[in-house]
A and B are shown apart, each in its own frame.
Chain A
């Protein structure tokens, strides 16, 4: 019995070493698999240095504050490669293997092909509905398109805070219940000026055409007498071709649609281009 115990005690360091080796191997595998080398729990993942140090520190602090106040991780991930994955897969995997809480949201901006993606998990799926994500992106995308990534992340943090607060009050933002958009002064002004002057130009052109009443006759329709009675009428099929039908929107409903990531976890999310 004692001999048997000794054998077991001798095996413990070996098992420990084996577990350690396997853990290291898996960690290394995960690191190469997901394509980033972030420290576990980073709220801002920016290994390529798209943000300045001060921006990085400030945004990390803001996201950490939001995350901790709601108990939901709010993460942003900037990278220049999709590592052969779809944007949604990369966002999901980054969250799953990044050591984050089971409730959270990750916003990925990827510069390989100018993609963005949102991955939500756990309570994040509830708080960030499909319609809510559309709204968030509509607010963030202008900054992304202009290359103002810091402001884009700042906006993302503010919106995430607002969305989580709203969800905690029992009414997550969704279809028919979205945040009040600010009045877009310059966009409205451009629409007004554009619309006003296009209509005015059409009217002025019509007034100008009134000064020109002399035109060459190109048809003799007024002199055609009687009805057109056909004595030949044939329609012969020649060939056909196919083209894609335009995509019809399925219409928005409330709530979030979900999918399963490579780790087997259920995620919500969305992706697109900026």
Chain B
């Protein structure tokens, strides 16, 4: 069981949402505006006062814990919406969602308390409208995407999700041995000199992101990176209002394995770049020692768009901060063949004419 919280407008009681354009909590009903951090601080203060009052009166309930999630036999978590009484279903990782009936944002504070509290969050900077527009731009420029897909595609689902990421910083000392060759003429032969080249350097990596949610495809999340951590702010639940969020279910140790692989590849290529003046350079051994490293838990903004076409599901993702849009698209084999043969035929005709003219001129 876990506690949940609905962001109610202090003026009209309507469900408030975080507005990416103004970076404030806004009530869509009365237009009231609140700073996210201030709103959370105010709510905590109120909750503290109520708890104190209850304790004084002999009660033991904290107001934010009155709304609890129930676990059913299937392991699903359900919650009764305070606003409309509808049932909201989630799983053990659900951290922020919305009521499917009245769209009220629901946030499970327990998913962000103690060690589960994210170190920071990058708030959404781009809204749903921008994500839809990006999808159209993304699809329209692609010549091989079936026209019917472009025309008939309808977004089945579009959701703003704060995806949990492990963000790794690492200072490493790396030593790499290369086999390098240098060629020089020697009479009517070429002398190929082989050298053992050693390079060692301290390298620092900052902010390698690794998807910490097993629900999200790693490749999809890799593809929308990087995020700009300079715009990160201290986490406060109010940023989640109106968006979905999950807590992490991939351990930092598992996440580090992926970061480490990327890091080692970069170390090898960075040090290879310092080996100059050779005809070929091949890494033969490497040793990367971690001097210090740390993992931070962050929530990154991602727009997820799902479409269905010819019975197949297509999922797109947009970086909610930078607008980078990715997703594999269907391609029309007929269009591919047309592009191949039509263009190939025209080009072949042009080359043939050029050859003929060259023969006429230079024969």
Contact = CB atoms under 8 A, between A and B. Distances in A.
Interface of A: 180-181, 183, 188-189, 191-193, 195-197, 199-201, 203-204, 207-208, 210-226, 228-245
Interface residues of B, number: 76
Nearest to B218: A216
B29 interface: no
B247 to A, nearest CB: 23
B339 A242 contact: no
B193 A237 contact: yes
A13 to B, nearest CB: 62
Given A181-B363, A213-B327, A230-B274, A236 B195 contact: yes
A69 to B, nearest CB: 27
A245 B189 contact: yes
Contacts of B296: none
Contact of B326 (A214, A223, A232): A214
A18 to B, nearest CB: 53
- Of A213, A222, A226, A237, chain B has the most CB atoms within 10 Å of the CB of A213
Contact of A211 (B269, B330, B359): B330
Contacts of B66: none
B198 interface: yes
A106 B265 CA distance: 65
A239 B182 CA distance: 11
A239 B194 CA distance: 5
Interface in B312-363: 325-331, 336, 339-341, 343-352, 355-356, 359, 363
Given A219-B269, A231-B200, A208 B331 contact: yes
Contact of A234 (B192, B198, B207, B273): B198
Contacts of A193: 344, 348
Nearest to B360: A183
The 8 closest A-B pairs by CB, nearest first: A232-B200, A196-B348, A200-B344, A196-B347, A192-B352, A217-B222, A220-B262, A192-B351
Nearest to B336: A204
B198 A226 contact: no
30 contacts: A196-B349, A196-B350, A196-B351, A200-B339, A200-B341, A207-B143, A207-B339, A208-B331, A213-B325, A214-B219, A215-B223, A217-B223, A218-B261, A219-B269, A220-B259, A220-B263, A220-B266, A223-B206, A223-B266, A228-B270, A235-B180, A235-B197, A235-B198, A237-B195, A239-B194, A240-B193, A241-B191, A241-B192, A243-B189, A244-B189
A242 B191 contact: yes
B311 interface: no
Contacts of B341: 200
B65 interface: no
A192 B266 CA distance: 42
A170 B195 CA distance: 60
A211 B189 contact: no
Given A228-B203, A228-B270, 5 more contacts: A197-B344, A200-B343, A222-B225, A223-B207, A242-B190
Contacts of A208: 144, 331, 336
Interface string B242-278: 0000000000000000110111011001110110000
A243 B185 CA distance: 10
A244 B271 contact: no
Contacts of B340: 197, 200-201, 204
Contacts of A196: 344-351
Contacts of B223: 213-215, 217
B196 interface: yes
Interface string B83-94: 000000000000
B153 interface: no
A197 B347 CA distance: 8
Nearest to A242: B189
A189 B340 CA distance: 18
Contacts of B196: 234-236, 238
A184 B329 CA distance: 45
B355 A192 contact: yes
B142 A211 contact: yes
A215 B219 contact: yes
A238 B181 CA distance: 10
A152 B121 CA distance: 81
Given A225-B205, A234-B197, A219 B327 contact: no
Contacts of A232: 175, 198-201
A50 B265 CA distance: 64
B202 interface: yes
Nearest to B204: A225
A211 B180 contact: no
Nearest to B200: A232
B219 A216 contact: yes
Given A204-B336, A233-B198, A234-B197, A221 B331 contact: no
A246 B196 CA distance: 27
Contacts of A230: 199-201, 274
A7 to B, nearest CB: 66
- Of A188, A196, A197, chain B has the most CB atoms within 10 Å of the CB of A196
A61 B197 CA distance: 72
A240 B192 CA distance: 5
B220 interface: yes
A238 to B, nearest CB: 4
